[in-house]
Amino acid sequence: MGWNRGFGRVKDERKNLSFFKIFQSADLFSESMRAMPYNFMKNISKEDFSYKLVIRAQWGSSWEVDISMNPRFYYMEKSGWNQFVTDNALGENEFVTFTHKGLMRFNVNIYGKNGKEIVTPRKPHTTTPFSKLLRLILHETNEIVMKNQLVTLMIQTGGIKKEEDVKKEDESMGVGVEIEVEKKKRAVEVGESSRGAALKKKLRNLNHPTRRRRR
């Protein structure tokens, strides 16, 4: 009896438009994975078409997904599609069929890697596996260690100056500037003093001209 029901369902659904997707872990959420086949969409009537579709699993759960269009094809928007993929814990080499029941409502049938149909809801992936989390932590730690080693090496070879060395250089430059300023100031004062003395001497000579000697 169960086989007859399954055969009857398949026979009935063959009358409806349908398409399938084979899932690959690298592109579960990509635009190409979310694309609606061109030959499928061109056979959807104007009366049936809508920019919002409903995906329904055989155990009763359903997901609303918006549809958009680019110059090449119609595709399902990320928000609803991602929720559908996550809730059903879909993964690599799994197979999903989409059967159109009218008015952009689809029945989906999900098949695992072993080819067996999934007939009960799965537990969604809610946490990152420990092994993957450990790899991420080790990767970030290695990056930090490598950066610190690179900075140390550049300091040792003179590529980067330590903070205290930079401060010392700034202080010595400041002292040098002060000394130069003081030298120039003194030179100006000396120059002005010399010019003043020469001017006074000229004035005295003008006021007291030298008398001619008597023969």
Of 22-36, 138-152, 159-173, where does mean pLDDT reach its minimum?
159-173
H/E segment holding residue 164: helix 163-207
Task: Check if the beta carbon of residue 111 is closer than 8 Å to that of residue 94.
Answer: yes
Beta bridge partners of 12: none
Task: Tell me the CATH number for domain 2-125.
Answer: 2.40.330.10
Note the pTM of the prediction, 2 decimals: 0.53
pLDDT of res. 7: 44
pLDDT at position 66 over 90: yes
Where is pLDDT greater, at 122 or 131? 122
Where is pLDDT greater, at 136 or 50? 50
What tokens appear for 31 in the block?
């635009």
Sketch the domain layout of the chain as residue ranges: 2-125
Beta bridge partners of 53: 65
Coil, strand or helix: which one is 186?
helix
